[in-house]
Amino acid sequence: MAGERVLGSMVFEFFSPGMAKIMELAGAEYVIYDMEHTGIGYETVKSQVAAARGLDIAPMVRVPRGEYAYLARALDIGCEGVMVPMVNSADEARAIVEACRYPPVGRRGAAFSFSHDHFESGPAKDKIKFANERNLVIAQIETEHGLENVDEIAAVDGIDVLWVGHFDLTNFLGIPGEFDNKIYKDALKRIVKAGRKHGKGMGFLAADTTWATDYAKLGFNMLAAGTDHGLVMKGVSEILDSVREMPKKKSRKSK
């Protein structure tokens, strides 16, 4: 997916049965449900995946950490991609890929005719090939260690996307929230260079149109709108603020 622009959203708060359809109508090609910071479990994610079935949108999930139990379970319930936070080394990246791919590519355990293959029957070889090719593996670069090793991480076969975790990255670089700091900007250049060198997609969560267009210009091609609750708050406040300061109509007193 390197170079191909893919647009979607991330969901942190509103796990409504209608969310996948709403995001599809908004033009999202994928939706990533967050498990790292939200406290939701696999039952919630499985319901969201089921609601996306039959729609032209790919359901994915950010797991809490890059461990087999999180990754394989997320794929088994039907997620078509996993985002892994705080990938720090090539060894971690290889372990993540191994957990997400069936043999001979990886070591994912097999259970067919379940949610991940829509409960359908069919040859196991075909299902393995389809899953290994379809399921996206996104490695988040958001620590000083991940940044230091980004070229080696990007070189790992089976890592499809490098995704910048911008807040955490500034935190671990000692400049929390300073997105105009040269240290952060240099880090972005280093990550983009590694992604381009190894033919990986580049991902980013954009809070508004300025962030989206700025990062697209930098070479990020997998962009997500979010956060969902932040966008709702912004939309509501804009409507209410438009009338908040208007003079109130005086009531006509009866004589």
- Band (pLDDT 50/70/90 cuts) for residue 253 is low
- Structural domain count of the chain: 1
- Band (pLDDT 50/70/90 cuts) for residue 2 is low
Inside any domain, residue 221: yes
- Given a cut of 70, whether residue 1 has pLDDT beyond it is no
- Given a cut of 60, whether residue 57 has pLDDT beyond it is yes
- Band (pLDDT 50/70/90 cuts) for residue 180 is very high
Inside any domain, residue 166: no
- Band (pLDDT 50/70/90 cuts) for residue 252 is low
pTM for the predicted model, two decimal places: 0.94
How confident is the model over 216-233, as a mean pLDDT? 97
Write the burial class of residue 220 (CB in 10 Å: 0-12 exposed, 13-18 middle, 19+ buried): buried
Q: What is the pLDDT of residue 208?
A: 96
- Band (pLDDT 50/70/90 cuts) for residue 9 is very high
Q: By the 8 A CB rule, do 9 and 228 touch?
A: yes
Percent of the chain past pLDDT 90, that is, above it, reads 93
How confident is the model over 189-207, as a mean pLDDT? 98
Inside any domain, residue 232: yes
Inside any domain, residue 209: yes
Residue appearing with tokens 């390197």: 2
Q: What is the pLDDT of residue 247?
A: 87
Q: What are 139-168's pLDDT values in tens digits? A: 999 999 999 999 999 999 999 999 999 999
Query: Can you tell me the distance from the alpha carbon of 3 to that of 98, in angstroms, rounded to the nearest whole number?
Result: 25
Q: What are 85-96's pLDDT values in tens digits? A: 999 999 999 999
Q: Is 118 considered catalytic here?
A: no
- Given a cut of 80, whether residue 251 has pLDDT beyond it is no
Inside any domain, residue 143: no
Inside any domain, residue 197: no
The CATH number of residue 48's host domain is 3.20.20.60
Inside any domain, residue 92: yes
- Band (pLDDT 50/70/90 cuts) for residue 122 is very high
Question: Domain span at residue 74?
Answer: 6-137+203-236
Query: Can you tell me the distance from the alpha carbon of 120 to that of 109, in angstroms, rounded to the nearest whole number?
Result: 18
* DSSP SS3 for 86: coil
Q: What is the pLDDT of residue 157?
A: 97
* Side-chain-facing half-sphere of 118: CA atoms under 13 Å: 10
Residue 53, both tokens: 């079935």
Q: What is the pLDDT of residue 4?
A: 87
Inside any domain, residue 217: yes
